[in-house]
Every structure is written in C-alpha cells, then in structure tokens.
C-alpha cells in the first residue's frame, strides 16, 4: 500500500519537475515496474546501456543507490576493433556511446536499472538519436552480459511496448555484447567535473533531478566515482 501511495504521487513530482526544468529538456516518464527481472549471478553485477551522449547516462546512474562504479565508453561494434571518441563520432563504426554500470544486486536490481534508464535517461521511441544527438552512435540499446539479463531486457522491452505509455513504437534493441571500451579519461565523471558545461546544463541536469524526484529511495547525493 505504501508503494502504491507513493506511485500515485509521481504525476505531482513530474509536474513540479516540468515547471522547474528548461523547456528544451526531455520530459521524464515513469516506466512500468518490471514483471521479469534478472536473477543475480555474482556479488557485484555489471550492466551495459546505450542511451545517447554518455555524459548524462553516466551522470544519472552514478546517483543510484547500490551502484558502485560507472564508466563511459563504447559498445556494439566489432569485437576486435579499437576506437576512440573521434572515430565513433563519425557514426560509421557500429559502436554506440555507452556506459558500464557495476552494481550490488542486493540493493538495486537489473530490472530497476532498466526502469530508471527508460524513465529519466533514454527515449525508447527515437531511432538512432537522443535529444540533440543524431546518428547510430547515439542509439538506445541494451547489451546483456548473461542469459538472465537477456531474458529480463527482452521481456521489459515487450512490457514497455504493451504498456501504452509511449505513443510511438519502441525501437530500443537488445544487441549482442561484443565488449566494452573505456572512453578517454577526460570523458569520465564528466558531469561531476564539469557541472556548468552548457551541454550538461541544457540536457542532463534535469535527468538527475528527475531521478531524485521519481525514485527518491534510490537516489544518493554523492555520485559513484
């Protein structure tokens, strides 16, 4: 009953957030609670998510309780090819800007991370772009690292499509994990180190505010390194 009561307050949180956020920020949306989750296979789990510019994705996940480490980087391209930011930015490598999230499944589950991701980070209906960033390198994608995550990710995308919360079709894909490459050091912890950066202020600050408003019990003030 307590959870139901708190979820009834979500529209009020969203209305307040919309009033306080810049008009050009993407509105937050409370994604459904997952019906199927990934059973943990180890003490600390890892998830890989692509949802547009990795600065904001990293910024949001680093404020989630139970998340120990978030790294910005690249996933989705050929296994043996090495790339950097400039190469991926060309949009023809097959890689997407992504984040690798190391988390404690006793505190936050893979399914909950999916819910957070689609509530305040990524629009699952925009093909090969997120907000101002266009190209295959900014696609939204999930990269399961094991069978449990694969099952949960596919089930959640199907659940989202049937929920009626999005008017357009869900285009986020589950992709085969071929490895993760870290981005350069100056792209790590970017939001923490550059809080006044124009891009951060215009597009990403509202995402962290949405996380705090919609998932207050999962929000932590001090971000993970």
Residues 6+ apart with CB under 8 A from 130: 51, 52, 53, 122, 123, 138, 140
Phi, psi of 50 (to 5 degrees): -120, 125
- pLDDT tens for 62-120 read 999 999 999 999 999 999 999 999 999 999 999 999 999 999 999 999 999 999 999 99
140 forms beta bridges with 51
- Report which DSSP code applies to 64: B
Taking 60 as the threshold, does the pLDDT of residue 1 lie above it?
A: no
- Other Cβ atoms less than 10 A from the Cβ of 166: the count is 16
Residue 4 has pLDDT above 50, yes or no: no
Q: Specify the higher pLDDT residue, 16 or 28.
A: 28
Report domain extents, the chain. 30-213
Question: Which CATH number among 1.10.3720.10, 3.30.1060.10, 3.30.200.20, 3.40.50.300 corresponds to the domain 30-213?
Answer: 3.30.1060.10
The per-residue pLDDT for range 145-195, each reduced to its tens digit, is 999 999 999 999 999 999 999 999 999 999 999 999 999 999 999 999 999
pLDDT of residue 11: 43
**pTM assigned to the model:** 0.89
| Residue among 70, 76, 54, 55 nearest 180 (CA) | 76
pLDDT at residue number 28: 84
pLDDT at 225: 73
Who's near 119: CB < 8 A, 6+ residues apart? 28, 29, 30, 31, 210, 214, 215
Please tell me which residue, 99 or 11, carries the higher pLDDT value.
99
Catalytic residues: 53
């Amino acid at each position: 009953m307590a959870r139901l009561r708190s979820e009834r307050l979500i529209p009020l949180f969203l209305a307040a957030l919309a009033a306080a956020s810049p008009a050009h920020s993407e509105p937050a949306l409370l994604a459904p609670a997952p019906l199927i989750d990934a059973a943990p296979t180890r003490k600390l789990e890892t998830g890989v998510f692509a949802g547009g510019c990795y600065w904001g994705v990293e910024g949001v996940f680093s404020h989630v309780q139970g998340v120990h480490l978030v790294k910005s980087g690249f996933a989705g391209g050929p296994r043996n090819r090495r790339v950097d930011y400039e190469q991926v930015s060309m949009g023809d490598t097959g890689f997407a800007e992504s984040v690798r999230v190391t988390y404690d499944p006793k505190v936050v589950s893979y399914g909950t991370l999916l819910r957070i991701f689609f509530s305040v980070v990524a629009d699952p209906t925009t093909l090969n772009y997120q907000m101002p960033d266009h190209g295959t390198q900014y696609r939204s994608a999930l990269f399961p690292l094991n069978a449990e995550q694969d099952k949960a990710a596919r089930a959640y995308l199907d659940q989202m499509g049937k929920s009626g919360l999005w008017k357009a079709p869900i285009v986020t894909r589950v992709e085969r994990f071929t490895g993760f490459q870290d981005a350069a050091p100056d792209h790590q912890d970017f939001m923490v180190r550059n809080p006044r950066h124009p891009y951060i202020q215009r597009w990403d600050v509202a995402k962290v505010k949405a996380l705090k408003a919609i998932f207050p019990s999962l929000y932590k003030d001090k971000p993970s390194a």
